[in-house]
Homo-oligomer: A and B are copies of this chain.
Amino acid sequence: MEFFRDGDVLFMRFSDGDDLLGCMKQALASQGVRSGVVVCGVGMLKSPQLAFYTGKGVYQPIPMDEEVELAALNGNVATVDGEIFIHLHATVGRKSGEAMGGHFSGGKVHMTAEVAVRVLNKAMIRALDAKTGLRTLRFQ
């Protein structure tokens, strides 16, 4: 992983085998970034853990044991109990071109991946919402 900060943008490049969420968290922490918007992500992933939220805190996994193009990455950076928490949704393209999409629970980079975060100054925290079973965003 390599990254640089350009004003309010944190740009990261990941290498083959990098754990996407773990490495992003490391880059964000090293820059003291605890709030932001994931505005872009391209590259490839291997066996990404996509999931569909069925309620009551349950994410139903979408099995994908293959290498895929990362076509789009949307999400944001907040904190949960003081820890950086990255919420990502990914759109990936199979070898056939067929796209799959959903909540991104984790996965490793295949070949390379390039991700940009727009850093925010205002804190965002996530706290459990009884109604949805989700840790929804709150603005302090």
Interface of A is mostly: strand
Pick the contact of A87: B53, B102, B114, B120 (CB < 8 A). B114
Number of copies: 3
Check B16–A50 contact: CB distance below 8 A. Answer: no
- Nearest opposing residue in chain B for A61, CB measure: B97
Check A76–B118 contact: CB distance below 8 A. Answer: no
| A107-125 interface with B by 8 A CB criterion | 111-112, 114, 116, 118, 120-122, 124
Check B50–A97 contact: CB distance below 8 A. Answer: yes
Q: In this assembly, does A132 line the interface, its C-beta being within 8 Å of a C-beta of chain B?
A: yes
Pick the contact of A73: B74, B76, B96, B137 (CB < 8 A). B74
